[in-house]
Amino acid sequence: MFLAILIIAFICLLLLEVPIAFAVGIATLLAAISLGDTDVLQNIASDMANSVSSFTLLAIPFFILAGDLMGAGGLARRLINFASALVGRIPGGLSLVNTLTCMLFGSISGSAAAAVSSIGNTLIPEMNKKNYGKDFNVAVTTAGSITGLLIPPSNSMIVYAVVASGVSISSLFLAGIVPGLLLGFVLMVTCLIICKKKGYGQDTAGQTVAFVPAFFSALPSLLLVVIVLGGIFAGWFTATEASAIAVVWSLLLACVFYREIPLRELPAVIARSARTTGVVLFLVAASSAMSQLLTAEQVPQLVSATLLSLSDNPIVILLIINIALLLVGTFMDITPAILIFTPIFLPVAIDLGMDPIHFGILLIANLSIGLCTPPVGTCLFVGCSVGKAKIAEVSRAMLPFYIAMILVLVAITYIPSISLWLPSLFE
């Protein structure tokens, strides 16, 4: 009964357009009341407070601030020039520049929505001028943005590591590199096929810039990834300490080296990061309370037993999990989905002999696709807003990219070495 109340209340609140954090919290409260919990408010408040009292989670606000500093500090323009120097000469090159820049920016900022906004504001109008299809331009930016959730540093990986206790953040970061690069490569191939078929961008005149100045202009920003990941993998500092170093480096670039952010505008950037952090951590707190309730009522064990009773074939079970997560991703943001469904599906994956690191990459790759799908896809909505396009039309233009993303998801699911090869080298 409590599970029915939880699900029905959550869906009804979503249909009423209640913010997802409040929908999760209210549904959890109603379900707990149905169980006869006399101290329900105290217990839920305690679960929410304890869930965000984590040293590891401190990395999230720091990476958010570093991303905002980079976004306001002229990073996008320099990365676009660098990407143009690399692939701008290829027919359809602006779509490749778009995807490659999203990969670079997303890996540095750790935010898919920020990648859509920052890159889209510059490249979508430019692609429109070059007579690329308007809906295609938004679709390219939207699809490319999610690569940054797999290429570290990634806030989603940090959230997963907190929920799946015992999983190393540095190993997760390593595991995401090859899948992220693979996804970016497949998306770029998809762009080339569409551009060739529809005749987009066959005239590449004026799309390239000189490589050497573009490289040196972007180098300080690219060094952020080297410093953060190199320091973590070398054991010089933890992921949380690395996030603080990322803020210092971003601040130096934005205010001293690039001089794109005057000191008088710095408080506004910090305030914007604080608001984003508040939203994310409230999502973490509410989702953790729901996760605690589900765990206490042994829902993960019930789901595990049910799935394993359907089949003992790992291929079939993983297919069912992927389909379920794809459906979840269409109406739930990635952070609460990771917090709620990791405790449910991770035990099943472990029973199948799956490495928790491999499952984490599968989970993040799967739920990232939901950011590009209606009705709740954050990146899709941001892209349509930036590109002034209709969601229905962009969703049709997204179809080839959905196919490409699902093909990569299948590869990640059934070829563990894609995710586990790099971590195995550093063991």
| Of the candidates 104, 142, 159, 87, the residue with the CA atom closest to the CA atom of residue 389 | 142
CA distance 96 to 223: 22
pLDDT for the residue numbered 427? 63
Q: Can you list the alpha helix ranges (DSSP code H) found in 199-265?
A: 211-234, 239-252
| Of the candidates 77, 103, 99, 79, the residue with the CA atom closest to the CA atom of residue 195 | 99
| Contact between 142 and 379 (Cβ < 8 Å) | yes
| Contact between 92 and 192 (Cβ < 8 Å) | yes
Burial class for 263, CB neighbours closer than 10 Å (0-12, 13-18, 19+) = exposed
CA distance 397 to 127: 15
Q: Report CA-CA distances (Å) from 271 to 41, 64, 191, 263.
A: 30, 11, 37, 14
CA distance 229 to 210: 28
- Helix pair 169-198, 155-163: axis angle to 10 deg: 140
pLDDT for the residue numbered 419? 93
Q: Can you list the alpha helix ranges (DSSP code H) found in 166-210?
A: 169-198
- In 143-160, which positions are buried (b, 16+ CB within 10 angstroms) versus exposed (e)? bbbbbbbbbbbbbbbbbb
| Contact between 167 and 350 (Cβ < 8 Å) | no
pLDDT for the residue numbered 28? 87
pLDDT for the residue numbered 399? 94
pLDDT for the residue numbered 205? 56
Q: Can you list the alpha helix ranges (DSSP code H) found in 332-416?
A: 334-351, 356-370, 378-387, 391-397, 399-414
SS3 content of the chain, % helix, strand, coil (to 5): 80, 0, 20
Question: Can you tell me whether residue 304 is helix, strand or coil?
Answer: helix
- Helix pair 378-387, 112-129: axis angle to 10 deg: 30
| Of the candidates 394, 376, 408, the residue with the CA atom closest to the CA atom of residue 139 | 394
CA distance 168 to 173: 9
pLDDT for the residue numbered 387? 85
Tens-level pLDDT at each residue, the chain (427 residues)? 778 888 888 888 888 878 888 888 898 888 888 887 667 778 788 888 888 887 878 888 888 888 788 777 777 778 778 888 888 778 888 888 889 888 887 777 767 777 888 788 888 888 888 888 889 999 999 999 899 889 888 888 888 988 887 788 888 989 999 999 999 999 999 999 998 888 887 765 555 567 788 888 888 878 887 888 788 777 788 888 888 888 888 888 888 887 878 888 888 888 988 888 888 888 888 888 888 888 888 888 888 788 878 887 889 999 999 999 998 888 888 888 898 889 889 988 988 889 999 999 999 999 999 888 887 788 888 888 888 888 888 889 999 999 999 999 999 999 999 999 988 887 6
- Segments of 88-158 assigned E as strands: none
Q: How many CB atoms lie within 10 A of CB 299?
A: 17
Q: What single-letter amino acid sits at 336?
A: P
pLDDT for the residue numbered 203? 65
CA distance 22 to 9: 11
Q: Which residue has the tokens 């692609």?
A: 127
| Sequence ranges of the domains in the chain | 56-425
